[in-house]
Amino acid sequence: MFKFIISRAALVIPTFLGITFLSFFLIRLVPGDPIEVRVGERGITPERLAMLREQLGLDQPLWVQFASYVGDILSGNFGTSLVTKNPVLLEFLELFPATVELSVCAILFAVILGLPAGVMAASRRGSFWDHTVMGVSLGGYSMPIFWWALLLILLFSVSLGWTPVSGRLSVMYYVEPVTGFMLIDTLLSDEPGAFRSAVHHLVLPSVVLGTIPLAVIARMTRSSMLEVLGEDYIRTARAKGLSAGRIVGLHALRNAMIPVVTVIGLQVGTLLGGAILTETIFSWPGIGKWLIESINRRDYPVLQGGVLLVATLVIVVNLIVDLLYGILNPRIRHGR
């Protein structure tokens, strides 16, 4: 098992190096000199330009610059924001819990609804329920979520007044950030009602962000279940006189879960992409909103460092999914 983990982890290293390389070039592709980008329109004397170039190592050959960039990253230095002058990594870590909280709730929403829906659709193939699940999930899959968010706000916030429009917590409360996860922090604080407020703020963004994963998971679960239900070992299970519930819920689901877990893992990328839109619309102070703001402010070090960090995150999550896959599927685990 340990060997299996190590060998899978080793495969990730070239991808990670490549991403680092790409993010290194990213800032170089921006039209104009990095220094000019930094000083903006104020102008600069040629002498000062040369000095700055030397200071920043821009007069060195490219590979030296890249080496020092990799060195910086390995020592945890992802650059400094031009606007706030804070280290990028610090800002990232500060905002990260908000995005994680949102994404976890979204994926929970998607899995809790999508998995049973897909299983039921498959086990009653061709039924009204099956058609409904497939139709709704195709709709969800085609949904422009930024519009979906506006519609939900229109309905639940504007018309019904049930949920707040933006932010993570009502301004009535102040909660000491301990973990960064609002649900936990509000529980730790002694402010009554703060937890309720945090939940209220979380509902709409989670539903919006979870919509596409929900559709994908439901469809994938259905097709995977259908495939498995046609397998010989399902016939064996029926020949053993097992109940339908046990056949579908144990024998089929266990096999059908293997590709579904992969798909859930792959949704992490979709989720972070969706988080950019969702966080922007709901003014959710997370990574997505931070990245969009960095573009609007032309804060390229934040964009560069942020993209690298997000990519690393996706790679790590995919690695974990890969390992989970091995645990679920005995054939992979035993190296065959």
The CA-CA-CA angle for residues 269, 272, 273, to 5°, reads: 85
Residues 242, 224: contact at Cβ < 8 Å?
no
Between 185 and 279, CB nearer to another protein: 279
CB of 93 to another protein, least distance (A): 18
Please identify which residue in 84, 270, 283, 327 interacts with another protein, judged by CB under 8 A.
270
CB of 19 to another protein, least distance (A): 5
CB of 71 to another protein, least distance (A): 21
Between 9 and 244, CB nearer to another protein: 244
Q: What is the DSSP secondary structure assignment for residue 313, as one 8-state letter?
A: H
Between 180 and 269, CB nearer to another protein: 269
Between 97 and 274, CB nearer to another protein: 274
CB of 242 to another protein, least distance (A): 6
Among the listed residues 329, 336, 298, 109, the one whose alpha carbon sits nearest the alpha carbon of residue 210: 109
Q: What is the DSSP secondary structure assignment for residue 40, as one 8-state letter?
A: G
Among the listed residues 227, 193, 219, the one whose alpha carbon sits nearest the alpha carbon of residue 110: 219
For residues 251 and 228, give the distance between their C-alpha atoms in angstroms, rounded to a whole number.
9
Kindly indicate which of the ranges 45-53, 98-106, 167-175, 237-245 contains the residues binding another protein, using the contact rule CB under 8 A: 237-245
Between 114 and 274, CB nearer to another protein: 274
Kindly indicate which of the ranges 66-74, 78-86, 173-181, 240-248 contains the residues binding another protein, using the contact rule CB under 8 A: 240-248
For residues 119 and 253, give the distance between their C-alpha atoms in angstroms, rounded to a whole number.
8
Q: Considering only residues 291-320, where is the footprint of another protein by CB under 8 A?
A: 291-292, 295-296, 303, 307, 310-311, 314-315, 318
Residues 188, 177: contact at Cβ < 8 Å?
no
Contacts with another protein: how many residues (CB under 8 A)? 67
Please identify which residue in 32, 46, 241, 245 interacts with another protein, judged by CB under 8 A.
241
CB of 79 to another protein, least distance (A): 15
Binding mask 119-138 for another protein (x = CB under 8 A): -------------------x
Please identify which residue in 8, 24, 26, 36 interacts with another protein, judged by CB under 8 A.
26
Q: Considering only residues 28-47, where is the footprint of another protein by CB under 8 A?
A: 29-31
Between 51 and 158, CB nearer to another protein: 158
Residue 139 binds to another protein (criterion: CB under 8 A): yes
For residues 172 and 189, give the distance between their C-alpha atoms in angstroms, rounded to a whole number.
14
Please give the distance of CA 210 from its chain centroid, rounded to a whole number.
Answer: 11
Q: Considering only residues 143-162, where is the footprint of another protein by CB under 8 A?
A: 143-144, 146-148, 150-151, 153-154, 158
> Amino acid identity of 252?
A
Residues that bind another protein (CB under 8 A): 14-15, 18-19, 22, 26, 29-31, 138-139, 141-144, 146-148, 150-151, 153-154, 158, 230-233, 235-244, 251, 254-255, 269-274, 276-277, 280-281, 291-292, 295-296, 303, 307, 310-311, 314-315, 318, 328-331, 334, 336
